[in-house]
């Protein structure tokens, strides 16, 4: 049951590791139960789903955007989310900045790293991350607070390890640069089948869906 899943995950997570419940396809009722059971951060992939959940639940949890953010959805996303984990271009950062300005809001963001170097996937390549972060650091309301990666999906969770290692190395290198208006505070990596490995490799934020809510029907 969901409540037992949450209790067992929360009791096993090492101190300092933040849990994001990845809630795509889940109803506001399911999300509400998760929050009652101790979840504090909800991760959403789709702005439309997030709008419905947010309308029903509001700020009883914090909301992280973890999907691919289309430029035409930024306007709807910015008022809802407390963090956007998937910034991978200056253009997207600038659009977030513009909407933040209108609302007088600041937005913590993570830069998504395409650690698997998969051409069709979102995220910036590891070697391009520093340049992007330096550009984003000039924005006033967008604050880079770390990195996020998905890594390629394999059947065997062990195969994800090198991608987490590479992202952690990048995180450590970037921390040392002391870029203004930039923190390397959160390293978001690992999902249901890989989060233990991600934590071993330095993740301090994990995004877990299936192991909390059960199998998804679609998406």
Ligand X SMILES: *Cc1c(COP(=O)(O)O)cnc(C)c1O
- Out of 5, 34, 45, 107, name the contact with ligand X by CB under 6 A: 45
> Which one, 168 or 207, has the nearer CB to ligand X?
207
Cα 192 to Cα 207: distance, rounded to the nearest angstrom: 7
> Which one, 6 or 208, has the nearer CB to ligand X?
208
Distance of CA 119 to the CA centre of its chain: 20
- Out of 192, 199, 204, 205, name the contact with ligand X by CB under 6 A: 192
Cα 127 to Cα 111: distance, rounded to the nearest angstrom: 13
Q: How far is the CB of 219 from ligand X (least distance, A)?
A: 8
Instruction: Name the residue whose CB lies closest to ligand X.
Output: 209
- Out of 96, 191, 199, 205, name the contact with ligand X by CB under 6 A: 191
- Told to check if 203 binds ligand X by CB under 6 A, we report no
**Cβ contacts of 8 within 8 Å, gap of 6 or more:** none
Written as six digits, the tokens of 64 are 């992280």
Cβ distance 212 to 6 under 8 Å? yes
Stretch binding ligand X (CB under 6 A), from 94-102, 129-137, 172-180, 205-213: 205-213
> Rg of the chain over CA atoms, in angstroms?
16
> Which one, 49 or 139, has the nearer CB to ligand X?
49
Cβ distance 61 to 41 under 8 Å? yes
The continuous run of DSSP H or E covering 51 comes out as: helix 47-57
Q: How far is the CB of 32 from ligand X (least distance, A)?
A: 19
Q: How far is the CB of 180 from ligand X (least distance, A)?
A: 28
- Could you tell me how many residues of this chain bind ligand X (CB under 6 A)? 12
Q: How far is the CB of 5 from ligand X (least distance, A)?
A: 11
Q: How far is the CB of 151 from ligand X (least distance, A)?
A: 10
Q: Greatest CA separation found in the chain?
A: 46
Which whole-number Å values give the CA distances from 81 to 3, 28, 135, in the listed order? 25, 16, 22
Footprint on this chain of ligand X (rule: CB under 6 A)? 22, 24, 45, 66, 150, 191-192, 207-211
């Amino acid at each position: 049951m969901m409540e037992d899943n949450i209790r067992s995950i929360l009791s096993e997570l090492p101190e300092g590791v933040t849990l994001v419940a990845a809630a795509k396809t889940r109803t506001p009722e399911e999300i509400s139960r998760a929050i009652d059971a101790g979840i504090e951060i909800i991760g959403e992939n789709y702005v439309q789903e997030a709008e419905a959940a947010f309308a029903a639940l509001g700020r009883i949890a914090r909301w992280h955007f973890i999907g691919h953010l289309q430029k035409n959805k930024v306007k709807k996303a910015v008022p809802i989310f407390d963090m956007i984990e998937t910034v991978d271009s200056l253009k997207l950062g600038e659009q977030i900045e513009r909407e933040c300005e209108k609302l007088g809001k600041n937005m913590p963001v993570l830069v998504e790293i395409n650690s698997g170097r998969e051409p069709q996937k979102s995220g910036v390549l590891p070697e391009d991350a520093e340049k992007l972060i330096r550009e984003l650091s000039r924005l006033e309301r967008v604050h880079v607070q770390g990195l996020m990666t998905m890594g390629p999906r394999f059947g065997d969770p062990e195969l994800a390890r090198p991608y987490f290692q590479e992202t952690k190395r990048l995180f450590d290198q970037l921390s040392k640069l002391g870029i203004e208006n930039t923190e390397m505070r959160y390293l978001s990596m690992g999902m249901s089948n890989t989060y233990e490995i991600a934590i071993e490799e330095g993740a301090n934020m994990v995004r877990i869906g299936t192991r909390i809510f059960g199998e998804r029907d679609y998406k």
